Amino acid sequence: MPYCKRQALVAIFVLHNTAMIYIGITDDRREIRENLEQIFSRFKDLEVVFTARDGADAVEQIKKQPTPFPQVLLMDIEMRKMDGIEATQRIKSLSPEVKIVMLSVFEEEDRIFAAIRAGASGYLLKDESPERIVQAIKDVHEGRMPMSPLVASKALDFLRLTPKPMPADHPEDYGLTSREIEILEPLASGKTYKEIAGNLFISPKTVRRHIENIYRKLAVNSKVEASNLVSRKRWFW
């Protein structure tokens, strides 16, 4: 097969096998919403489902269960009617599967950690390049936690200066729910997502979502790290 034709077929295959990511945008400045929409319109694997003018508007739109439903929500922090932190808490309680990335001009440590505690999965500054914002959306969709370098640096400085808490003796001390503990035990013993899902009569997708929450609460990044923590704590034996 000629090289050019083969390359064309590869390009078509990649295009048809690229998963679409559905996005919501929440910002009280119309020009920012429109700019972001324009940026995302250049990418075939990104689609804006809705835009919201403030946190309250975003919560209401999530309640309406738009189709398709947003997988990633960009959220401003400082908004008049309802700020981004409160909106994040409410949206995560309504739809825990939504990944929320804060997009803010603020870089103060208290804002960063308040957003993370509220359920945010990433934190970017608004002066980031369009390419970096797009990559952050793809990263958070794949389970990573994107942060602007300055934000990450401030977070690390804060953690270094914060006194270390006493080790937790039980999974509940980390805020794990009973369902998350049910999943953590077989995960630490080497079970696959599919095996865990079958034993608990839930979908592998639901298992994956719970495991992402487990990793966040335990401050680990992988199954190996979670298993090592369980082993050190001797939680299940």
Cα pseudo-dihedral 63, 20, 209, 93, rounded to 10: -20
Dump pLDDT digits (tens) for 20-56: 999 999 999 999 999 999 999 999 999 999 999 999 9
Distance CA 121, CA 205 (A): 18
- pLDDT score for 13: 39
| DSSP assignment of 31-95 | HHHHHHHHHHTT-TTEEEEEEESSHHHHHHHHHT--SSPPSEEEE-S--SSS-HHHHHHHHHHH-
Name the DSSP letter for residue 98: -
Please report, rounded to a whole number, the percentage of residues in the chain having pLDDT higher than 70.
Answer: 86
Tell me the three state secondary structure of residue 22: strand
Reported confidence tier of residue 114, pLDDT bands at 50, 70, 90: confident
- Structural contact between residues 101 and 74, judged by C-beta atoms closer than 8 angstroms: yes
Cα separation values, 44 from 112, 203, 228, Å: 31, 28, 40
Tell me the three state secondary structure of residue 163: coil
Distance CA 40, CA 181 (A): 38
In the predicted model, is pLDDT for residue 6 greater than 70? no
59: closest CA among 25, 27, 34, 94?
94
In the predicted model, is pLDDT for residue 166 greater than 80? no
Domains in the chain, CATH or no CATH each: 3-160 (3.40.50.2300), 171-233 (1.10.10.10)
- pLDDT score for 31: 95
Q: What would you report as the CA-atom Rg of the chain, rounded to the nearest whole angstrom?
A: 20
Whole-model pTM above 0.85?
no
Please report, rounded to a whole number, the percentage of residues in the chain having pLDDT higher than 90.
Answer: 53
Query: CA angle, corner 138, sides to 132 and 140, nearest 5?
Result: 100
Q: Residue range 75-79: average pLDDT?
A: 92
Bridge partner residues of 48 (DSSP): 23
